[in-house]
Amino acid sequence: MSRGRAKLEGIFNHDVKLVGGSTVKADEQYLRNSILNPASQVVEGFQPIMPTFKGQVTEEQLNALVAYIKSLTPNAAASTAPATNAPAAANKPDAKPAANTTAPMAVANSNK
């Protein structure tokens, strides 16, 4: 059941149903676009109330947000490709410090 996803956990590389009936895969491009142009791909069951963060986050912050959202999907960092023949990296913690953004919402909350 994918009507109205309320969480970002597990979203990366999974299909998202949009208003209008189309489906997109939540890859990096989709996540970036969802942050910069939220109204352009609105998730089914939601209103387009998300504000754009264009001009408010730097490229670096945008990358950190995308990395953080990716980290909410188990194995996302290890397998950008379909996980069918994933190498034996399953037990290896990913060495990349991609997800050390503990409080990404602080970015949005920094206005007074």
**Residues found near ligand HEM in the complex (CB under 6 A):** 5, 8, 11, 16, 26, 31, 34-35, 38, 42-43, 46, 48-51, 53, 65, 69, 104, 107-108
Least distance in angstroms from the C-beta of 89 to ligand HEM: 26
Q: Are 98 and 67 in contact (CB under 8 A)?
A: yes
Within the chain, how many helices (H) and strands (E) appear? Answer: 3, 2
Least distance in angstroms from the C-beta of 110 to ligand HEM: 11
Q: Tokens 């945008």 — which residue?
A: 62
Structure tokens at 88: 């034996």
Minimum CB distance to ligand HEM smaller for 73 or for 75: 73
Least distance in angstroms from the C-beta of 87 to ligand HEM: 28
Minimum CB distance to ligand HEM smaller for 78 or for 104: 104
Minimum CB distance to ligand HEM smaller for 90 or for 100: 100
Q: Are 19 and 43 in contact (CB under 8 A)?
A: yes
Least distance in angstroms from the C-beta of 19 to ligand HEM: 8
Distance CA 40, CA 47 (A): 12
Backbone angles phi, psi at 67, to 5 degrees: -65, -40
| DSSP 8-class letter at 56 | T
Minimum CB distance to ligand HEM smaller for 78 or for 107: 107
